[in-house]
Amino acid sequence: MKSMTRIPPVDEASGVIDELQAFYLAKADGEGWVYTSVLRQLVNRLYRERDYLAKRTAEGRKTAYDYAVDRDQKALAWAIRAIVRHMPPEIKAEPEPPKPPRKPSRRLSAAERERYKGVPSWNGKPKRDWDGPDVPDLAPGRKLRARAVDEQAGG
């Protein structure tokens, strides 16, 4: 796991408007995220969600989540434009940190290839060296909106 810098306090003047944003901001700072890596990730998200919505439309499926994704797309496009317009050139010029070397892939032996022939490669386990998303503990009395709705529904 990458190091995480100290979580900044919520302070709108310094650009931190929420505890959840502060948590992920500390993680991003600890991992060395810079303008180019942030911009690339945001644009990738735009394309990923566009593809998701296109797939859902082709399937004839539409839920409230699709509507929320569409609104998120608009907000994300607006935020990308603001970042590009208002980021100082010296911040834009910061180089990305070098990526860590990739671990060598483990090749299957001939016997393993034969044994797994016709079986999907997904094994139901998370990506190697990834234990799932790292989410913050919520302050006492605070619940994620989805968890609160589930509890009200008796789930």
Comparing 56 with 2, the larger pLDDT belongs to 56
Inter-residue contact 35 to 87 (CB < 8 Å) = yes
pTM: 0.67
pLDDT digits (tens, 9 = 90+) for 97-150: 888 888 887 788 888 888 878 776 666 665 666 666 677 776 665 555 555 555
Q: Is the pLDDT of residue 17 over 60?
A: yes
CB neighbourhood size of 72 (10 A): 13
pLDDT of residue 100: 83
Which CB contacts under 8 angstroms, 24+ apart, belong to 37-43? 37/96, 38/83, 39/80, 39/83, 39/84, 42/76, 42/79, 42/80, 42/83, 43/80
Average pLDDT over residues 16-23: 94
Take residue 54 and report the two structure tokens written for it.
């296109």
At 104, list the tokens.
């060598």
